[in-house]
Structures are given as C-alpha cells and as structure tokens.
Amino acid sequence: MPTQSAPTTETSQTRIPAAELTGIFGTVVKIAARRMLGRVPDSMGVLAHHPALMQASMGIGRKIEALDELDDDLTTYAVMATAAHIGCSWCLDFNYYKAHNDGLDEAKARQVPNWRAASVFTPLERNVMEYAEAMCETPPAVTDELSAALLAELGPAALIELAARVAFMNMSARMNVALGIHSEGYAESCELPPLATRSTDSTTDAAAEPGRAAGVGSGS
C-alpha cells in the first residue's frame, strides 16, 4: 500500500530537543525516512545526538525485522501488546500504521491494547500477547505452561523469535518513554480507525485518538 505523509503531533514534546541529522549516515537516514514516512520523525532527531547509538539500534532493528520464523500478524500483535503494556504511544501508533501499509489485519491490530476484552483474537493470538505482557514484567512472568503451549503450536524457532522481538520492543519502548518520544500521527495520516483502549466493560470497545492508547496497558 502507498505510504502517506505523517503529520507531527502538536502535543508531542521530547525531553531532549531534536538535532539535525548530519553526515553521510544522517543523509541516508533522512532519505529513507522521507521515502517510508513522508518526513523525518522527531525520534530520529533525538537519537541524532548520539549517531553511533542510533546506527547500532537501527542495525539491530533491521536484523530483527528481517527474521521470518514468526507469522507477521502474530509479530504485530506481540510488539503492539508490548508497547501498550509499557505505555509507548509512538510504538503503538507506528506499528498500527505499519500493519496497514504491510497489508496485515489492521482490524485486529487496532484491538491489541484491549485484547483481553476483544473477541476477535484466536487462542494462539491471545497466548502470544499474554507471553509478550509476561515478558514485560520485572522479573519476567512467563510460565512453563504458557511457554509449553506456544512451543507446541509455534515450534522452537518461532518461539525464540517471539521472545527476541518482545525483548527488542521492550528496549525501544522503554527508551522512547524515558526520552519523552510520543506518537507522531502515523495512523491518523492514513485515516485509520482509532486504536481501542482498555475498557472496564468487556462487552464494550472504547476508542481513543490514534497513538493515545499508551498507559492503559492490557493486563488483568
């Protein structure tokens, strides 16, 4: 699907002012970002203060993104459940937008922040999101039973990939929250329905502005 330009969210204010991306690497990053997103995200401007770290993070991200043992939809639900649990509105918004552009099941993706109450997910999908949330706890709360159930359905390679993707999203989401990096309106630019939010009534689907579901989590 064609990528549309994403507007800057007016209420977004990072804790470290964005810097200009410079040099060969900075130029390459700006070209790639504009091609994919229509603009350079504020988050890249924040990381531009530390080019070596930004390059390392992007390098790991590209390698993680290239893995293909885990189903694409399951990957989306896992990383979005992680982002919702931690409270990273940038990660939630971007991955919802990415699911749309990748042709994945965006109707389900929008319900991830409210997955425990939503009726659209299969038992496997629920187990994947429960695993993602359990990994976010300190210490991690993954049980032998949940791991065994996923191992039986996914196989060892896909389960290891699930753990790696959730771990990488934990790193990214926690860094974004700490640095004050918020949603930049990617989903809104595609006129996607807003992300669901956790509801106290399991029969009701609440909605918020795209990227505003952070902080509600989806734990029981």
Helix (H, G, I), strand (E, B), or coil: what is residue 35? helix
What is the distance between the alpha carbons of residues 183 and 41, in angstroms, rounded to a whole number?
10
Domain boundary among 6, 33, 66: 66
Structure-token pair, residue 155: 């196989």
Instruction: Please tell me the predicted confidence (pLDDT) of residue 12.
Output: 55
| Residue bearing tokens 């993602």 | 132
pTM, 2 dp: 0.81
Instruction: Please tell me the predicted confidence (pLDDT) of residue 81.
Output: 98
Instruction: Please tell me the predicted confidence (pLDDT) of residue 69.
Output: 98
Does residue 2 lie in a domain region?
no
Does residue 215 lie in a domain region?
no
What is the distance between the alpha carbons of residues 57 and 94, in angstroms, rounded to a whole number?
17
pLDDT tens for 168-214 read 999 999 999 999 999 988 888 778 889 998 764 443 344 433 333 33
Segment (H or E) for 206: strand 206-207
What is the distance between the alpha carbons of residues 21 and 95, in angstroms, rounded to a whole number?
23
- Whole-number percent of the chain with pLDDT over 70: 85
pLDDT tens for 36-79 read 777 888 889 999 999 999 999 999 999 999 999 999 999 999 99
The domain spanning residue 143 has which CATH number? Answer: 1.20.1290.10
Residues 163 and 60 occupy one common structural domain: no
Work out the angle at residue 89's Cα, subtended by the Cα atoms of residues 34 and 27, and round it to the nearest 5 degrees.
Answer: 20
pLDDT tops 90 at residue 17: yes
User: Residues 6 or more apart from 111 whose CB is under 8 A from it?
Assistant: 118, 120, 121, 196, 205
Residues 91 and 168 occupy one common structural domain: yes
Residues 48 and 145 occupy one common structural domain: no
Instruction: Please tell me the predicted confidence (pLDDT) of residue 87.
Output: 96
Residues 39 and 133 occupy one common structural domain: no
Does residue 32 lie in a domain region?
yes
What is the distance between the alpha carbons of residues 124 and 154, in angstroms, rounded to a whole number?
9
Instruction: Please tell me the predicted confidence (pLDDT) of residue 35.
Output: 85
Instruction: Please tell me the predicted confidence (pLDDT) of residue 175.
Output: 96
Structure-token pair, residue 150: 């996923």
Residues 45 and 130 occupy one common structural domain: no
Residues 95 and 144 occupy one common structural domain: yes
What is the distance between the alpha carbons of residues 180 and 164, in angstroms, rounded to a whole number?
24
Whether the Cβ atoms of residue 70 and residue 154 lie closer than 8 Å to each other: yes
Instruction: Please tell me the predicted confidence (pLDDT) of residue 59.
Output: 93
Number of folded domains in the chain? 2
Q: State the average pLDDT for the chain.
A: 85
Domain coverage including residue 40:
18-66
Which residue has better confidence, 162 or 217?
A: 162
Residues 60 and 136 occupy one common structural domain: no
Residues 62 and 77 occupy one common structural domain: no
